[in-house]
Amino acid sequence: DGGITQSPKYLFRKEGQNVTLSCEQNLNHDAMYWYRQDPGQGLRLIYYSQIVNDFQKGDIAEGYSVSREKKESFPLTVTSAQKNPTAFYLCASSTSGRFGGELFFGEGSRLTVL
């Protein structure tokens, strides 16, 4: 089945540690995105990539980093510089970088900082 796979589903981190969230898609989509979901705040865009080896900051990129070395993969690193990293993280993809198309989401990764 085609889709987006995020791992791990749950992750606990101590303060001061970096953590990397995995996102893999087999939909052959060009564009991939990372969103952060907090209660009452909707979905906020962290980073997006419209093509391999290129990515742009979203609205809340501070404290996060990404890479796009392969079309299928778009990992997100939550660094120790992120002040409030506890959240639900969602990866998505679309057929093109134009946001007028459908976004396909993974099932998310819930990060808790202890």
Give the range of 14-22, 60-68, 71-79, 93-101 binding other proteins by CB under 8 A: 93-101
Would you say 74 and 54 are in contact if contact means Cβ atoms under 8 Å apart?
no
Q: Does 113 bind other proteins (CB under 8 A)?
A: no
Q: Binding string to other proteins for residues 29 to 48, with x set by CB under 8 A, is what?
A: -----------xxxxxx--x
Rounded to a whole number of angstroms, the minimum distance from the CB of residue 15 to other proteins is: 26
Specify the DSSP class assigned to residue 90: E
- Is residue 92 part of the contact set for other proteins (CB under 8 A)? yes
